[in-house]
Amino acid sequence: MNERIAHALDAVTAERATTALLSVRDLSVRFRLRGGRGVAAVSDASFDLAPGECLALVGESGCGKSVLASALLGLLPANAEARGTAWLAASAASADAADAGHSAVLRAGGRPGLDLLAADERTLARTVRGRLVGLVPQSPAAHLTPVRTVRSQLEETVRELTGTPRRERRAAAEAAAERAAFPAGHLDRYPHELSGGLAQRAATALALIGDAPLLLADEPTTGLDRELVDRTADELRRHTDTGKALLLITHDLAAARRVADRVAVMYAGRIVETAPAARFFDGSGPRHPYARGLLDALPEREFTPIPGLPPELSNLPEGCAFAPRCPRATAACAVRPDIRAQVACHHPHGEPGDADRA
Ligand SMILES: Nc1ncnc2c1ncn2[C@@H]1O[C@H](COP(=O)(O)OP(=O)(O)OP(=O)(O)O)[C@@H](O)[C@H]1O
């Protein structure tokens, strides 16, 4: 890629940051383990998310996707340390939060909002979770209250987040269930009476109630058959079409293709490429060799798995973490590549003269 194109892409990134609802910069999460060891679950992740936009965060199991989402909601366990900033813009940060004078509500260069990583627990619990940031959790069974029916949990959430009067709550809860394709006939069941797919849909219904400007959906299609995957994906897309932002964390590249405007690919705790979904899935394709490998591994494509395994996050190499599995690796890859023009690779696809350019 020539310098002019690289600069133009960097300018697009800067422009995106000024209009973003969420701007994450250099987010890193380390877990402290016994014996002084550590796990670098997320390293220097940066991305922006605009109102009405869906960013799909994809990557193999264990690469740090859920930890990143937990960091944004202040839900990390006690042995975690998070660094960086995650700025939620004022259009999302409600006037209530600002009026309450919470310590986390700041102004940066005249832009009101709050840094989710610096927010105190009170702000997160009262202002952020459910209201400003909705979460479709990865483990819905653990998220649902075991001793209450789905209906009762939906009605309670409707009351708490929307202030709907008592007589209208039943209808509002049923409408929420319908939006997430949760069957009305199962509303009076307890969580342990639900299949994994139904629990997933109940959790999605709960997450949509607050109509939060930002939704984090962590594997929202796990356990669903293809038809329901498509239905859930379409509901999430409708959510963004009303101006909401969606961070979709998924293994399911078909669901990502259906919903996402942009794709961020994570490998060993780092975002290694961010690309428009149209180019990533249907155009010239990803530029990072790992991202190419993910697509080539799909049964409907080449069905060729990426050889080898990801590195241990407790023992990351100095250089490019993908190099040991990469067909393009050279001696240069002993030095970790910076993100440049939205890809962190010394030998990305699509360079001038690249024989593999699609
Ligand atoms: N409390 C913890 N203590 C130590 N390590 C942890 C802890 N929680 C998560 N990790 C580690 O952080 C890494 C990233 O986990 P994460 O759940 O974010 O992966 P993921 O990409 O979401 O994968 P999956 O889709 O399988 O959940 C993993 O190596 C995991 O073992």
Per-residue tokens: 160: 């708490």
pLDDT reading at 92 higher than 70: no
Report ipTM (2 d.p.).
0.97
pTM: 0.90
pLDDT of residue 90: 72
pLDDT of residue 100: 47
Residue 307's closest CA among 332, 324, 292? 324
CA of 67 to the centre of ligand 1 (A): 6
**CB distance 111 to 22 below 8 Å:** no
Radius of gyration of the chain (CA): 21
Those residues whose C-beta lies under 8 Å from the C-beta of residue 301, and which sit 6 or more positions away, are 295
Pairing of strands 245-250, 214-218: parallel
**CB distance 140 to 131 below 8 Å:** no
- Ranges of beta strands (E only) in the chain are 22-32, 38-49, 54-58, 80-89, 105-108, 111-115, 133-136, 214-218, 245-250, 262-267, 270-276
pLDDT reading at 108 higher than 60: no
Residue 114's closest CA among 46, 101, 80? 101
CA of 63 to the centre of ligand 1 (A): 7
Q: Ligand 1 in contact with 313 (CB < 6 A)?
A: yes
Bridge partners (DSSP) of residue 135 are 216
Domains by residue range for the chain, with CATH: 1-132+212-287 (3.40.50.300)
Q: How many alpha carbons lie under 13 Å from residue 94 in its C-beta half-sphere?
A: 18
Q: Ligand 1 in contact with 31 (CB < 6 A)?
A: yes
Q: Ligand 1 in contact with 207 (CB < 6 A)?
A: no
Convert the pLDDT of each residue in 126-155 to its tens digit: 889 999 999 998 888 778 999 999 999 999
Convert the pLDDT of each residue in 149-186 to its tens digit: 999 999 999 999 998 999 999 999 999 999 898 999 99
pLDDT of residue 239: 87
Which of 79-83, 227-231, 290-294, 316-320 has the least mean pLDDT?
A: 227-231
Question: Angle at which helices 196-209 and 226-241 pack, to 10 degrees?
Answer: 10
